């Protein structure tokens, strides 16, 4: 078994970062209960969203982003047991320094991080790295990866509830649960 992780929404909790950035820099508030279904004011061009998200991560994440509850102790234990921590993220290129700064601050090393150009790129990189199990918080990505991997874990979130994933996608609420399930898997 070879396990890898998405970063945002699995280890790094971004909603406060997004809320602060959009309020100060874009001029409207995001609702915290569903991080992917934003309601934009008519004056906002949603095609800017990717750029604004990248700017929020680049400028604020290292300073104010907190870990997803329990993720850092779980990852440190995983590493202490001799496992490699591998992240595969579809982050914008401009955010990678901020992502690594945040990981160094909260997790320390060593870890591996791979950036892909899109969510679709995760399939290729997981195949290239021989990943068999993956943790993500995006429903569509989990279902796509499920076609190629033995097991995928979907971090439960308001944005992916009420949807039925593929048979080898298991909903989880924490990385501790993922590690418990992977121990049972072995």
* % of the chain at pLDDT higher than 90: 67
- What's residue 33's pLDDT? 56
Burial (CB < 10 A; 0-12, 13-18, 19+), residue 42, is exposed
- What's residue 164's pLDDT? 86
Q: What are the tens digits of pLDDT across the range 123-180?
A: 999 999 999 999 999 999 999 999 999 999 999 887 777 888 889 999 999 999 999 9
Residue extent(s) of CATH 3.40.50.1000 domains in the chain: 3-13+66-185
- Asked whether the predicted pLDDT for residue 37 surpasses 70, the reply is no
Round to whole Å and give the CA distance between 3 and 21.
32
Q: Read off the DSSP letter of residue 158.
A: G
How many helices (H) and strands (E) in the chain? 7, 8
Q: Sheet holding 86-89: strands in order across?
A: 112-115, 86-89, 3-5, 133-136, 151-155, 169-172
Q: What number of CA atoms fall less than 13 Å from residue 5's CA on the CB side?
A: 26
DSSP letter for each residue of 16-57: HHHHHHIIIIIS-PPPTT-TT-PPPPTTS-GGGHHHHHHHHH
- Token pair, residue 180, equals 């418990």
Report the SS3 class of residue 148.
Answer: coil
The whole-chain average pLDDT of the chain stands at 90
Evaluated on CA atoms 127, 131, 133, 137, the torsion sign reads negative
- What's residue 161's pLDDT? 79
- What's residue 182's pLDDT? 85
pLDDT band at 15 (very low <50, low <70, confident <90, very high): confident
- Token pair, residue 1, equals 């078994």
Pick the CATH number of 3-13+66-185 from 3.40.50.1000, 3.90.1170.30, 1.20.58.390, 3.90.1010.10: 3.40.50.1000
Residues in the chain: 186
Average pLDDT over residues 58-63: 96
Average pLDDT over residues 48-77: 94
pLDDT band at 20 (very low <50, low <70, confident <90, very high): very high
pLDDT band at 30 (very low <50, low <70, confident <90, very high): confident
């Amino acid at each position: 078994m070879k396990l890898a992780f998405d970063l945002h929404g699995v280890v790094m909790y971004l909603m406060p970062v997004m809320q602060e950035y959009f309020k100060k820099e874009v001029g409207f508030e995001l609702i915290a209960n569903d991080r992917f279904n934003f309601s934009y004011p008519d004056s906002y061009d949603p095609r800017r969203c990717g750029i604004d998200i990248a700017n929020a991560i680049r400028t604020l994440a290292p300073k104010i982003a907190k870990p997803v509850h329990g993720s850092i102790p779980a990852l440190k234990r995983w590493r202490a047991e001799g496992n490699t921590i591998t992240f595969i993220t579809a982050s914008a290129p401009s955010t990678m320094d901020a992502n690594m700064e945040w990981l160094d601050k909260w997790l320390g090393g060593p870890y591996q991080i791979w950036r892909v150009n899109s969510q679709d790129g995760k399939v290729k990189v997981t195949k290239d790295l021989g990943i068999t199990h993956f943790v993500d918080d995006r429903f569509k990505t989990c279902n796509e990866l499920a076609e190629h991997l033995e097991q995928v874990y979907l971090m439960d979130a308001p944005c992916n509830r009420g949807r039925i994933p593929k048979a080898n996608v298991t909903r989880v609420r924490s990385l501790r649960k993922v590690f418990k399930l992977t121990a049972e898997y072995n």
